[in-house]
Structure 1
Amino acid sequence: MNFGIIGCGFIAKKHALAIEKIPSAKLVAVCDRVPETMEYYTETYGAKAYTDSIEMLKNTDLDVICICTPSGLHAPIAEQVAKAKKHIVLEKPIAMTLEETDRIIEAANSNNVKLTIVHPNRFRTAVQVTKKLLDQNLLGKISHANCLVNWNRGQEYYNQAPWRGTKTHDGGVLMNQSIHNVDLLLWFMGKPKEIFSMEATRLRDIEAEDVSTGVIRFESGALANVQASTTVYPKNFEESITIFGEKGTVKIGGANALYFEKLEIEDLNESEINELINRVKDDPWGTPGHQRIIEELIYSIENNLEPSVTGEDGKNALNLVLAFYESAETKSLVSISEKTIKRSLI
């Protein structure tokens, strides 16, 4: 299948590399308002360069478009792509508001195109193993969970572009860095019921938050703590998810949530547990997440199936982040409801 990329900033290179590794995929076009940013793709992959997305979408050879623009531009571009009957790989977050999200999902559905959201952490080896343990109920009834992202993003990171750290186009640490872990928490724990959160902008000169902490109660009754920051000195400190169950404890940790720091399961013997730990040590990243996202989208197109990470998955993660923002702003407990369609941080 022939791929195009709209938005040629940093994350676009991950998409290009993923496409290059898939035998049935080819990067044939790129689009950006700044011509210089496309030179890498034209020289490395022979992609045709466009400065106008509407002109690019007239290319009948294109099958799939990867949208890698600032988050605040996702909705109008995704609608353009869907109307042009191209399938969509959309970087996280799906959008900045639930209203925009519903427009994206409706555009994909009404134009019969596949939509997948880039939440690649689902495909890390430890995450895949943990999901299987949960699906097999080997942890038993879940008591609670911790979800931590304590990273460093210096002021120079936010100064790279005027949209970074803004509420309209980027959001803060929850929307940008921690939304991957929010997605995993939902994947592991199920539907949330209510949220209480506090946030602050402590060290970075940005509009949005650089540190956040909150608590979730899930429909199951389980609780979770969520903490996220970009203020840690001098580099990324921890990205981890810990799940505490009646028959097991699992912690995926390290600076990038790659390894089992704790794996104790009542119904697995020492040999079985060591096999799982070593499997993760031998291949912590697994197939790169962007590659898996694109491979599974291709499979879903060829077999007319839902992608592994759907637009609804992206909406659920966004809804939870926006609930955190609403709670912090109103200093109150916020109930999660699928009917809440206008919640926004803006």
Structure 2
Amino acid sequence: MKFGIVGCGFIAKKHAKALSNIEGAEFVAVCDKVEDMMKPYKEEYGVETYTELTDMLQSDIDVVSICTPSGFHAPLALEIAKAGKHIIVEKPMAMKLEDTEQMINAAKENNVKLQVVHPNRFRPVVIELKKLLDSNKLGKISHANCIVNWNRNQEYYDQAPWRGTKEHDGGVLMNQAIHNLDLLLWFMGEPKEVFSMEATRLRDIEAEDVSCGTVRFVDGSLASVQASTTVYPKNYEESITIFGEHGTVKIGGPNALYFEHLEYEGMDESEVEQMKERIQEDPWGTPGHQRIIEDMIEAIEEDREPLVPGPQGENPLKLVLKMYESAENGKIVQW
């Protein structure tokens, strides 16, 4: 299958590298308004370059990865869908729920697949935790902690005028923590109520650089959410801890790659130690972007939904927007 990329910034490099490692994927084109941004891809991969998406879509390309700033995702996705091409879109899926609905509907109407990039789902430790939850090893869930305390200094935000803006980027929730929020929803299910407070403490940006919130889920369980880009001097912690009636599990470290705590009723300790050792040896596993693209190829071949389809990609965005709404109004909001 032939793949193209629109938007040749930092994240596009991950898509290009993933494509080069996938048998059956042919990386053929890039599109960017700035010609200099496309030169490295032409030199390294020999791809065609386009300054207009319309021109790239007239080629025999099969799938397009959207790697532009977030505020541009929706109109590009609509154009790609109308051209009959399948879509892989970086997180967050869009900046507004009206846009995500249009994207989902456009994919359906034009019979194309829509996959949202939430690659953390494919990390070995995350896969094992999901298995534990699906097999009810922890029993009834009491509550969870969802934490992203990272560093993004002012130089990071100053690299591009769209960074930290409410229109095209958002703050720590929309940009850095959204992967962790996706995992929280994947693990815990549908929310019922959301309460949150946001602040912009240390970075000169429009959006928040620190956030603290609480989520009540439909089943009655609770979760606390803490996220920041203000930690000095580097990333400190990304973790999810789940407390159940028969067990407690924490995946953590600077990038939520390891089991920091794993204990549940009746567990086979030697089996658990072997699992921990496997994860320790290869914590990243197959790169998440590669798994996303491989799954898209399989979804097209098998004519099924991708593993992270539009509606699932919409949910973490919805949670972020509900947290923003709560913070703005100073009250609990309904899901």
Normalised by the size of structure 2, how large is the TM-score?
Answer: 0.99
Deviation at 1:249, TM superposition (A): 0.7
> Secondary structure of the equivalent of 2:16?
helix
Match of 1:294 in 2: 293
Deviation at 1:267, TM superposition (A): 2.0
Is residue 2:187 matched to residue 1:188?
yes
Deviation string for 1:159-198 (max 9, x for gaps)?
1111100000000000000000000000000000001100
Match of 1:152 in 2: 151
Deviation at 1:286, TM superposition (A): 1.1
Is residue 2:252 matched to residue 1:272?
no
Match of 1:137 in 2: 136
Spell out the pairing of 1:126-275 with structure 2 (5 A cutoff): 126-275=125-274
Match of 1:78 in 2: 77
Moved over 3 A (4+): none
Deviation string for 1:26-48 (max 9, x for gaps)?
11000001101101100000010
Work out the CA distance in 2 between the residues paired with 1:25 and 1:269. 41
Q: Identity of aligned pairs, percent?
A: 67
Is residue 2:51 matched to residue 1:51?
yes
> Secondary structure of the equivalent of 1:242?
strand
Deviation at 1:276, TM superposition (A): 1.9
> Secondary structure of the equivalent of 1:226?
strand
The AA in structure 1 aligned to 2:120 is N
> Secondary structure of the equivalent of 1:131?
helix
Work out the CA distance in 1 between the residues paired with 2:125 and 2:249. 10
Deviation string for 1:4-44 (max 9, x for gaps)?
00000000000000101001001100000110110110000
Gaps of at least 5 residues in structure 2 are none
Deviation string for 1:216-258 (max 9, x for gaps)?
0000111000000000000000000000011111100000000
Deviation at 1:85, TM superposition (A): 0.5
Work out the CA distance in 2 between the residues paired with 1:64 and 1:221. 40
Work out the CA distance in 2 between the residues paired with 1:269 and 1:25. 41
Match of 2:90 in 1: 91
Work out the CA distance in 1 between the residues paired with 2:266 and 2:216. 27
Work out the CA distance in 2 between the residues paired with 1:330 and 1:279. 46
Work out the CA distance in 2 between the residues paired with 1:251 and 1:231. 23
Work out the CA distance in 2 between the residues paired with 1:273 and 1:286. 18
The AA in structure 1 aligned to 2:25 is A
Match of 1:118 in 2: 117
Match of 1:107 in 2: 106
> Secondary structure of the equivalent of 2:111?
coil
The AA in structure 1 aligned to 2:57 is L
Deviation at 1:269, TM superposition (A): 2.1
Match of 1:34 in 2: 34
The AA in structure 1 aligned to 2:312 is D
Match of 1:326 in 2: 325
Deviation at 1:307, TM superposition (A): 0.2
Work out the CA distance in 2 between the residues paired with 1:320 and 1:101. 13
Work out the CA distance in 1 between the residues paired with 2:220 and 2:8. 43
Match of 1:344 in 2: none
The AA in structure 2 aligned to 1:100 is D
Deviation at 1:58, TM superposition (A): 0.8
The AA in structure 1 aligned to 2:224 is N
Match of 2:17 in 1: 17
